[in-house]
Amino acid sequence: MYIPKRAAGQSPFVLAIALLVAGLLIAAGVIAFRVDATGGNAGTSDTGARTTKTISSQDATAAQAVTTQYMHAFLARQYHTMWSLLHPQVQAVWPDEAAFTTYWSTRFQEYTLHTFTVGQAKTLSSWTNPETMTTYASVLQLPVSLQLDLKAQRTNSTPPEDLHPSQLFKNLPFVVQHVDHKGSIAAHWAVLEGGPADLEAPILPPTTPVASTVNVPILMYHHISDIPRYNALDKSLTVSTTVFTQQLDHLKAQGYQTITFNQLFDALYYNGPLPTKPIILTFDDGYDDAYASAYPALVKHGFSGMFYIITGKVNWQGQMSWGQMNTMLTNGMQMGSHTINHVDVGQVYLNSREQVQQELQASLAAMQQHLGVVIQQFCYPSGEPFRHGSLALRRAIVALLAADGYVGATTDPGMTGVEQNSIYPFTLLRLRIDGRDTVQNFINRLP
């Protein structure tokens, strides 16, 4: 359904007519929608827990109405209205309404916002906010697309996301929940995720570089497993489930809160909100113990995680399946690319630019096809070329990543630290967690 843009100062009568039309376009009675692990995108769930649900035309109309109101306010830059429609627990992510207003007034200042479209509502038995890992029952989700264009003149250095932003802002999930206040007849639909106008919307790098830093530890894991290891490398790559639980217990006790990479870039580029002690937990290679061991431990502790996937090994013995990844995404986890074959992208570049582009582009395309989400994050296999490659080679790989639609990449120490710099989004620093370390050594490495 097409929703025309409401200009600032337009009569509320016009908006009322638009909402009435929206309601009439939804068939009367009860409409059935298929609910899958990705909220309507490609992929299947191993759990089989997602089934066909029903939604009343009254609820569908109400969800359309609040979505339309929120998006109209966004286009008209009426940030107070947007704020008033947010769920109270989403408001709590922000310091206050002023910070919310400042963020959104700058977030799209380089763009002209045109129109938006809202698709049909469907019901989800639950939805998990990846920023807080809070799970909400019985929510409605609608796909929202935004048409927008860059104001500035295009140059050779303009990121591809900025050149064609509408391609990224298609069918983004807009999630609402019916909030019923005890002891009061007042009830309303509150926004949990704002589609194109949300912290988790795709990142559009600023056309003019922004210089800022934030201290965010990014921890690097591989295996979380109790399978015995017999050589030094495998022992270093494997953290036992008991030790991993103890590490998460410590992080929880010390007040650390996991954030998404979108939150990190929102903070670096647009001064977006971060918790007092932010941290990111990453897991390389897509092993099946990531699903069997790491994922449930994270959920139990209220933590999210980023899992870097070698797409050419998906469904292999010892590796995760697409269905398992979809289940994890549904429950607050994140996914990033780790190439097709876990190659040294610097060395492959020196041998064949066509081959390295295949590794970067096809892995991203496969993940987006199977998972139904925008993939913008990358991880260098074995940290190369940022461990042994030349400066020129590093710059060449970064240029390819940026041209292919990635906005950030993590290193494999070698380079290490906790200070993340907006000038170097493709060299995000991590702390490698060694399976041979004691829990005290783990504690001592944290800021």
In a domain, 225, yes or no: yes
- Would you state the pLDDT for residue 163? 84
Q: What is the CATH number of the domain that holds 433?
A: 3.20.20.370
Q: Which domain holds residue 400?
A: 213-445
C-alpha–C-alpha distance, residues 441 and 37, integer Å: 38
In a domain, 200, yes or no: no
Q: Are residues 221 and 146 in the same domain?
A: no
DSSP 56: E
Q: What is the mean pLDDT of each run of 10 residues along the chain (447 residues)?
A: 39 42 38 30 37 75 95 97 96 97 94 96 94 95 96 77 90 93 63 98 91 97 95 95 98 98 97 97 98 98 98 97 97 97 96 96 97 97 94 96 96 90 96 95 92
The whole-angstrom distance between residue 174's C-alpha and the CA centroid of its chain comes to 14
CB-based burial of residue 158 (10 Å sphere; 0-12 exposed, 13-18 middle, 19+ buried)?
middle
Helices (H), 222-321: 232-237, 241-253, 261-270, 288-289, 295-301
Domain end marker among 134, 160, 194: 194
Q: Are residues 306 and 431 in the same domain?
A: yes
- Would you state the pLDDT for residue 411? 93
Q: Are residues 126 and 242 in the same domain?
A: no
Q: Are residues 391 and 429 in the same domain?
A: yes
In a domain, 308, yes or no: yes
Q: Are residues 7 and 141 in the same domain?
A: yes
Q: Please, which residues have CB within 8 angstroms of residue 375's CB and are 6 or more apart in sequence?
A: 335, 336, 337, 364, 367, 368
In a domain, 199, yes or no: no
Which two structure tokens, joined as six digits, stand for 126? 């639950």
Q: Are residues 236 and 349 in the same domain?
A: yes
Q: Are residues 186 and 252 in the same domain?
A: no
Q: Which of 265, 152, 156, 160 is nearest to 210 (CA)?
A: 265
In a domain, 206, yes or no: no
C-alpha angle with apex 409: 227 to 92, nearest 5 degrees? 90
Interhelix angle 353-371/322-330, rounded to 10 degrees, is 60
**Count of structural domains within the chain:** 2
In a domain, 303, yes or no: yes
In a domain, 382, yes or no: yes
C-alpha–C-alpha distance, residues 290 and 292, integer Å: 6
Phi and psi at residue 298, to the nearest 5°: -60, -50
Which residue type sits at 298?
L
C-alpha–C-alpha distance, residues 338 and 333, integer Å: 16
C-alpha–C-alpha distance, residues 152 and 93, integer Å: 31
- Would you state the pLDDT for residue 148? 95
Q: Are residues 25 and 167 in the same domain?
A: yes
DSSP 384-423: TTTTTS-HHHHHHHHHHHHHTT--EEE--SSSB-SEEETT
C-alpha–C-alpha distance, residues 294 and 239, integer Å: 10
Q: Which of 203, 189, 74, 89 is nearest to 142 (CA)?
A: 189
Which residue type sits at 424?
Y
Q: Are residues 306 and 423 in the same domain?
A: yes
Q: Which of 51, 76, 60 is nearest to 27 (CA)?
A: 60
pTM: 0.86
How many other C-beta atoms are found inside a 10 Å radius of the C-beta of residue 291? 21
Domain end marker among 140, 159, 194: 194
C-alpha–C-alpha distance, residues 419 and 428, integer Å: 8
Q: Are residues 220 and 322 in the same domain?
A: yes
CB-based burial of residue 82 (10 Å sphere; 0-12 exposed, 13-18 middle, 19+ buried)?
buried
Which two structure tokens, joined as six digits, stand for 199? 């912290």
Domain end marker among 161, 194, 227: 194
C-alpha–C-alpha distance, residues 249 and 294, integer Å: 13
Per DSSP bridges, beta strands 218-221 and 278-285 are parallel
In a domain, 208, yes or no: no
Q: Are residues 164 and 231 in the same domain?
A: no
Q: What is the CATH number of the domain that holds 175?
A: 3.10.450
Answer left, alpha or beta for residue 315, where phi above 0 means left and psi between -120 and 50 means alpha.
Answer: left
- Would you state the pLDDT for residue 161? 80
Q: Are residues 146 and 220 in the same domain?
A: no
